[in-house]
Amino acid sequence: MSVPNTALYLSLYDEITVRLRQHSTNTETDANGSISIPLIAGAISRLVSSVATAPLELIRTRQASLVGNSTSKGAASGIIQEFQFLYRTNGLRSFYTGLGPMLWRDVPFSSLYFLCLEQSKSALANSYREQGAIISPSVQAAHVFGSGLVAGAVATALTTPFDVIKTRRQMVAKEGHSCFEHSIPSGTIGYMRHIFKVEGMAGLWRGNKTRMLKVAPACAIMISCYDFGKKVFEEML
């Protein structure tokens, strides 16, 4: 996930969570709030941030995937050339190639991630509360990291098929042909069925282990740094 995406995503999640909790003051709502709030806040925040930064994500994927792409003119020149090529190909619409599969991947991922994270944090707080103990900063930091790691792994495993589709749609060669096949279904579900028919179940989870090794630790580090940063700024204000 890019820095702009992460900054917008986490900021929106906190803001939406606060507003939802302000409207969840009665007992009946609170009973389900611990589940519904992270699901809703995670989905909305990721939807907005993904749409806002989709062109940057597309360029990043193409720059990392295209074979034989010249780097002699430097990274900035390559990025500008990619934007120009995409615009000439299909106008502004080209900048959102693969947005559908990306939303199918990222929105459920965020909902699952924050649901697991918030449930784990609540379980720790309730456990210490029942014992009448106070959570030390070191224990809380370790728990946030561990919760982020597990939540990231679970969310990654469940959303890998959509990541496979998103990546394949965005890995488009200069001629405009797919790196994998010349004719593919246009819809996300149709493409998923196509992969399952041609490659079996393994095709939908291709690269899952590698993605999990990358995403899960990244999620743990991201949420730990964000949680630490929030506490530092809260103490300063």
Buried-exposed string 69-93: b where 16+ CB fall within 10 A, e elsewhere = eeeeeeeeebeeebeeebeeeeeee
- Whole-number average pLDDT of the chain: 82
pTM beyond 0.85:
no
Task: Name the DSSP letter for residue 95.
Answer: G
Taking alpha carbons only, the member of 171, 153, 144 closest to residue 109 is: 153
- pLDDT surpassing 70 at residue 102: yes
Tell me how far apart the alpha carbons of residues 11 and 26 are, in angstroms, rounded to a whole number. Answer: 26
- What confidence tens digit (pLDDT) does each residue in 4-14 have? 888 899 999 99
Q: Are 47 and 107 in contact (CB under 8 A)?
A: yes
Contact 185, 197 (CB under 8 A): no
pLDDT band at 152 (very low <50, low <70, confident <90, very high): very high
Dump pLDDT digits (tens) for 23-71: 876 544 455 567 899 999 999 999 999 999 988 888 887 777 655 555 4
- What percentage of the chain exceeds 90 in pLDDT? 35
CA 87, 92, 93, 98 dihedral sign is positive
Give the chain's domains with CATH numbers: 3-236 (1.50.40.10)
